[in-house]
Amino acid sequence: MRNIGRFHIIRNAIKKYLIQRHKLEFSEFLEKLESQKSHIFLEIRVEEIIKSLDGEGIFQGLNLPEYMVKDILEFALTTNCYGENKYKFGFKFHQLEKAEQYYKRKFLTARYYNLTQECPGIKELENDSLLIEIAARYLRTKSLHIGTALVWNFPVNFQFEQYSVSESSYHYDLDGYNFIKFFFYLTDVNLNSGPHVYVRGSHKNKTLIDQFLRGRTSEQHLINYYGQDNIIKICAPAGWGFVEDTFASHQGVRPINQPRLMLQLLFATHDYNLEHNDVNPSLLQAISFEDE
């Protein structure tokens, strides 16, 4: 899928097939959603969101209530996260410096596992009827929640020899032929704390070279093709939410002076088992310090 799913002609043909195949199921799915109401997102117009997603690939303004931001952030500060997505590099956020000394390495990122079981607020979001409806109406099929990620990005020296370009250079995601992601900032984000950057319109209009290279190209190339006005840097306070088609070119800028915590929810037509965060607890290893 990830080899051929990057090409518009193949992707669009498969999406069309999936939409037709699940047409009746989709109709029944929407009928069930109509009887449900979100208790998190109020006064949201789904039609406006879908119009923005179809045309630009992104919609901003799906903001979390303050209590939910507080609850998820408290969970993140009191639960082990795992450096560079490795089960053996567990530590709590406030232990970052000690963990780097202990493991003898710098951490660019840290992620949490088993979120649905351990954080009620995140589970509530995964099952929120409005998010499910937005995903379904944009995908035009029954939407499945197939993955959640809660990730820290830490400030680093850009000369750091293990610096990775996987998340902090322009790219586009290939999590399926038909998928969409919701993002929520859990910390305040400005230009120095790792803003998410999105190339508006690039979900439907890629150059052939970008389709071959999976969009790993320079910002200047994207500016030349899409225009400076379509390079969107999202700076916003904790709780700010947005939904986007991440088949478009995007990147997460590396923080300079403070860490960024962001929550991602992935919905798709089909689950390729690429984005699960459930892990057998016996596999997770974390350090503890005697003075804590």
Summarised one tens digit per residue, pLDDT across range 21-35 is 888 888 888 888 877
Q: What is the pLDDT of residues 122-142, one digit of tens each?
A: 999 999 999 999 999 999 998
Q: What is the pLDDT of residues 166-211, one digit of tens each?
A: 445 899 999 989 999 999 999 999 999 999 999 999 999 898 888 8
CB 179 within 8 A of CB 269: yes
Dump the DSSP string for 172-198: ---S-SSEEEEEEESS-B-TTS--EEE
pLDDT at 66: 96
pLDDT at 19: 87
pLDDT value at 39 more than 80 = yes
Using CA atoms, how far residue 271 sits from 72, 246, 267, in Å, is 26, 16, 9
b/e 164-181 (16+ beta carbons within 10 angstroms → b): eeebbbbbbbbbbbbbbb
CB 34 within 8 A of CB 129: no
CATH number listed for the domain at residues 8-283: 2.60.120.620
Question: 3-class DSSP state for residue 283?
Answer: helix
Report the alpha-carbon distance of residue 65 to residue 73 in Å, rounded: 13
- Contacting residues for 65 by C-beta, under 8 A, at least 6 apart: 40, 239
User: In the structure, what pLDDT confidence band is assigned to residue 121 with cuts at 50, 70 and 90?
Assistant: very high
pLDDT at 135: 96
Average pLDDT (35-55) is 91
Q: What is the pLDDT of residues 87-118, one digit of tens each?
A: 999 999 999 999 999 999 999 999 999 999 99
pLDDT value at 290 more than 80 = no
Q: pTM, whole model, 2 decimals?
A: 0.93
CA 80 to chain centre: 20
The residues spanned by each domain of the chain are 8-283
Report the alpha-carbon distance of residue 227 to residue 199 in Å, rounded: 9
**Cα torsion for 33, 66, 183, 97, to the nearest 10°?**
-140
